[in-house]
Amino acid sequence: MASKAVWMRCGLMAGLIVCAVAMLNTGLSAADTAPGRDPKQPVDEAYTAKIAKYTTEPYFTSPLVNYLPASKTVPTPEAVLGDVAGAPGILPYSAQVYQYMRMLEKASPRVKVFSIGRTEEGREMIAVAVSSEANLAHLDENRAKLAKLADPRTIHLNDADADKIVDDAVPVYYITGTIHSTETGAPTALMELAYRLAVDDSRYIQDIRNHVITLITPIVEVDGRDRMVDLYRWHLAHPQENYPPLLYWGHYVAHDNNRDAMAMTLKLSQNVLNTFVGWDAQVLHDLHESVPYLYDNTAGDGPFNAWVDPILTNEWEILGWRNVQDMTKFGMPGVFTHGEFDTWSPGYLMFFAALHNGISRLYETFGNGGADTEERTLQPDEYSRTWWRQNPPLQKVLWSQRDNNNYEETGLLTSLHFFSDNRAMFLKNFYLKAKRSVTKPEAEGPAAYVLPANDPRLGAQAELLNVLRLQHCEISRATSAFSVTVPVQKTSDHRKSSGEATGEKSEKKAEATAKTKTVDFPAGSYIIRMDQPYSRIADALLDYQYWSPDDPQKTPYDDTGWTFGELFNVKVVRVTDTKVLDAPMERVTTVAPPSGVSGTGTVFAINNNADTALATLRYKLKDAQIEAAEEPFDADGHKFNRGSFLVHGASSDDLRHAVSDLGLKAYGLGAMPSVKTHPVRAARVAILHTWLSTQTEGWWREALDFMHVPYDYISTQTVAKEADLNSKYDVILFPPVGRFVSPDLIINGLSTDWGNPLPWKNTPETPNIGKLDSTDDTRPELGWDGVAHLQNFVKHGGVLVTVMDTANLAVALGLTHGVTVAHTPRERIIGSVVRADIVDSTSPIAYGYGDQLSVYCFNGPAFDVSNIAGRGGFRRLGPEINGRPTGRGTLSDPDFVVGRQNEAAIEEPKVEPWQAEPVTNEELRNGVGVIPPAERPRVIFRYADSHDLLVSGLVEGGDEMAQHAAIVDVPMESGHVVLFSNNPIYRGETRGSYSLVLNTILNFDSLNAGRKLDKQ
Ligand SMILES: [Zn+2]
């Protein structure tokens, strides 16, 4: 093991890349530039000839994949495809890919297929293990060894014991393909890769086969794959016509399925993580196809995620640069690492590995979105030579799916070979990363996160803990009360200081100087210990993020903040005091909030803490009468918040079952409390989508499905046709279309004057398409009829919920008297968590919420409100608010005019930026533009003051957004348009703000409750 000796000399210090280069001289030979085939093994000549035929340039392949070894017993991909992998015009369905993998399993003892779960639409997901017969025969023993490295507590963190295991364990390299359904090449590349690994007797492949278990999930997004194949077949059948873009990649979302690695809402995330963790794999290598020709983007630009182990970030560089080096030697152009991608957000699928002590990797190769061979012309930023791309892609090429498969397979094989050669180092690193995760409390902190038992939002707390459970984190619960010392935060820090959750002992005065204070936690509090192997993922999700506006990275690749405690509206205390680990506690495997029915009576009260389960309950107890209290009240010794439910007419058995399932507590009352109420009805809800993009609304469908809130799923075309929307719906939710979609596209769609119809329909030709929704032609959108129908719907009592770009649209269309969108050119809030302050807690939209709420914002529109139709936010000439003109006196001691008696000035009312200026007497003189008080916009939440706005992530130019209205209820005749500047339902991460939408739904016909009208 010469390479290992090199590593030992270098140690794990800064010279890792130098070491990697040094290794070239020790571990590899000249054969490396042209790895030798086994001369005794015949080549499948016909297959090999077709590989050459479909490869468009000799330098778009490598000695590793420009032939296929023959086998008398093992079928090649041709057996299923009818041609070679990557052949033009051939895109296999998932069933064909699985059929082939199972043929391999049958024909070779070196292949085993495992079912790893189902998708949302019930399709199977698989993982295919390829390794030597011996390795596959001893999978369980090997897994037991890897498990000890994965959890070093089992060997008492003993490095010598770890070294023994490292010496004879076989590592697992997990490859995942086609998470993005429009990126179509991976399945055929992985079919052929599996064949090569099982059959090829060259020294190069034997090295991999004997020393690595290659685990392959050929298709991650199976639902979307089958639809993409449908679409491609439709294209082949109509070669002269345009074809529609793939509208539903997965059941819910498109490329955001690769942003679910935090909240784990999708089946594919759960299945892949369970597989990665279940196998104790070392690498998760995810295949994408959007960059020419091979971009290993794991070694991207900064900033790197702050919670990953530097051992990992160095591994990224080692693997990435070595990959580039190997393929450069093969003469393949356009292979590079580094590049613009930053590795800050942990939302990507590959990040399962990064935060579970493995190695995350991601390839972007070059795909044509189908299997056509096409001329491709690149943009300058794609073909230019940079320091990290010395051999860039060509400006113009003929590109085939086979070329793409050549790059994918060559990259993977060189990676597998290098990994195999250095398996001892990578296994030892795997152990070291796990060990450093376990020793985190002393080494770096924190020691634990505590979720206190006295949090009023125990439902949301349980949901957050369940996300951590899905992440395979260990969760403990305190069996008695305990206390810890926490640092006192400076007042300029987050207003919700960590001690606020519970009883603090330090004196108010002393607090100003004290550096620490004692915090008590009650029994039943949950503790996420940081001395566990998967501490890093918990830390990354629960901690705060700060992205400096001065960061050299000016274009964050994705969200910059995600703090889960804030977005779930749950109290989470970061504890560095290691004493917390000595608190009496027990491990728990399930988490459910305390629930049940206490007391008896004809009326049952359920407190409102903005718990999403309340909406589920409303729809579950269809026949029960439920009222919402419009004011807080006390009953039988319990305090109830505004919006609390008063249930009658439900059988106590039904109620008991429902609240137990949902984690709610109901209190039987002797009589209806004397508080003003209104009915909470099970509104008829529609989610409105365009045919432009279905991703962002997909998260809304996911959330409503998850909460069992029923809805109809309708398109802008339905709205354009349906004149009487009120006969079908009470509430229409119009989630964001997408960040850059213009009102023009939402209203006009694509012109039907040119091109051909673009159907999205279920037909024998496209059996997987058109099941969620369908149309003969996706080009038309809302149209002016649709706009009129929506307006009519609202005027007749309907509620239209609009969000970010659809809120902009509602304002632009004149559906919201008195609201304008402020111009915010300097604002940069890139997927950040920001603070909103409550303005009107009597609004049903705010039921259950406190004074502040953290919300997700992506450069959301900043609303201004006015009582005068058509007038923007108040920007007046003359002195600034609370200012005065130049003259005698001080700011508060006013001016005088020489030579006359000076009367005290009439005091101008103080107006905050989120408020409308009160209507003046002057404006009421022939007040044609004055909006009647009952029709004026009602601001429910506003963005916090500038210095308080940032919770997590990047906020630049925040003063432009600060204090502006964030959530506005705009009445129109009998109905309402509700505007959200934030996205309240996003990626399963914003569960703390879901109830803003649910409240709107449940109180749709009483949204004016609590409203105080202006006098004039
Ligand atoms: Zn992709």
DSSP-assigned letters across all residues of 45-88: HHHHHHHHHH-SSGGGS-TTTSS-B--SSSPPTHHHHSS-TT-T
pLDDT of residue 874: 53
Question: Ligand 1 mean position to 289 CA, how many Å?
Answer: 6
Question: Ligand 1 mean position to 596 CA, how many Å?
Answer: 46
pLDDT of residue 649: 87
Six-digit token string for 371? 């299997």
Q: Which phi and psi angles does 784 have, rounded to 5°?
A: -75, -25
Mean pLDDT of 437-466: 97
Poorest-pLDDT segment among 30-44, 229-243, 524-538:
30-44
Higher pLDDT, 20 or 41: 41
Query: How would you class 179 by CB atoms within 10 Å of its CB: exposed for 0-12, middle for 13-18, buried for 19 or more?
Result: buried
Question: Ligand 1 mean position to 348 CA, how many Å?
Answer: 10
Among 457, 461, 582, smallest CA distance to 526 is for 461
Question: Ligand 1 mean position to 217 CA, how many Å?
Answer: 15
Task: Say if residue 28's pLDDT is above 70.
Answer: no
Q: Which phi and psi angles does 62 have, rounded to 5°?
A: -145, 165
Question: Ligand 1 mean position to 473 CA, how many Å?
Answer: 28
pLDDT, one tens digit per residue, over 850-889 is 999 999 999 999 999 999 997 765 554 444 556 677 888 8
Contacts within 8 Å (CB) and 24+ apart, 147-152 = 147/280, 149/280, 149/427, 149/430, 149/431, 149/434, 150/280, 150/357, 150/430, 150/434, 150/533, 151/434, 151/533, 152/431, 152/434, 152/435, 152/438, 152/533
Give residue 848's pLDDT band: very low, low, confident or very high (50, 70, 90): very high
pLDDT of residue 909: 79
Question: Ligand 1 mean position to 287 CA, how many Å?
Answer: 7
Mean pLDDT of 721-736: 98
What does pLDDT average to over the chain? Answer: 93
Task: Say if residue 708's pLDDT is above 80.
Answer: yes
Mean pLDDT of 507-536: 86
Task: Say if residues 131 and 172 touch (Cβ distance below 8 Å).
Answer: no
Question: Ligand 1 mean position to 980 CA, how many Å?
Answer: 29
pLDDT of residue 35: 84
Higher pLDDT, 921 or 211: 211
Question: Ligand 1 mean position to 13 CA, how many Å?
Answer: 34
User: Can you tell me the distance from the alpha carbon of 420 to that of 562, in angstroms, rounded to the nearest whole number?
Assistant: 36
Task: Say if residue 500's pLDDT is above 50.
Answer: no
Question: Ligand 1 mean position to 255 CA, how many Å?
Answer: 7
Task: Say if residue 20's pLDDT is above 50.
Answer: no
Question: Ligand 1 mean position to 380 CA, how many Å?
Answer: 21
pLDDT of residue 141: 98
Task: Say if residue 894's pLDDT is above 90.
Answer: no
pLDDT of residue 668: 94
Task: Say if residues 256 and 987 touch (Cβ distance below 8 Å).
Answer: yes
Half-sphere exposure of 192 (CA within 13 A, CB side): 32
pLDDT, one tens digit per residue, over 59-97 is 999 999 999 999 999 999 999 999 999 999 999 999 999
Task: Say if residue 272's pLDDT is above 90.
Answer: yes
Question: Ligand 1 mean position to 324 CA, how many Å?
Answer: 20
Question: Ligand 1 mean position to 184 CA, how many Å?
Answer: 10
Contacts of 657 (CB under 8 A, 6+ apart): none
Among 116, 111, 160, 161, smallest CA distance to 137 is for 111
Task: Say if residue 1's pLDDT is above 50.
Answer: no
Question: Ligand 1 mean position to 362 CA, how many Å?
Answer: 9
Six-digit token string for 848? 């259950």
Task: Say if residues 999 and 709 touch (Cβ distance below 8 Å).
Answer: no
Question: Ligand 1 mean position to 333 CA, how many Å?
Answer: 21
Question: Ligand 1 mean position to 177 CA, how many Å?
Answer: 10
Question: Ligand 1 mean position to 484 CA, how many Å?
Answer: 45
Question: Ligand 1 mean position to 617 CA, how many Å?
Answer: 39
Mean pLDDT of 652-656: 90
pTM, whole model, 2 decimals? 0.94
Percent of the chain residues past pLDDT 90, beyond the cut = 86
Question: Ligand 1 mean position to 180 CA, how many Å?
Answer: 5
Matching residue, tokens 């997927």: 831
pLDDT of residue 739: 67
pLDDT of residue 15: 36
Task: Say if residue 496's pLDDT is above 60.
Answer: no
User: Can you tell me the distance from the alpha carbon of 764 to that of 770, in angstroms, rounded to the nearest whole number?
Assistant: 11
Indicate the angle between helix axes 45-54 and 401-421, nearest 10 degrees.
110
pLDDT of residue 25: 38
In degrees, rounded to 5, the angle at the alpha carbon of residue 284 between the alpha carbons of residues 280 and 286 is: 155
Question: Ligand 1 mean position to 179 CA, how many Å?
Answer: 7
Q: DSSP character for 148?
A: H
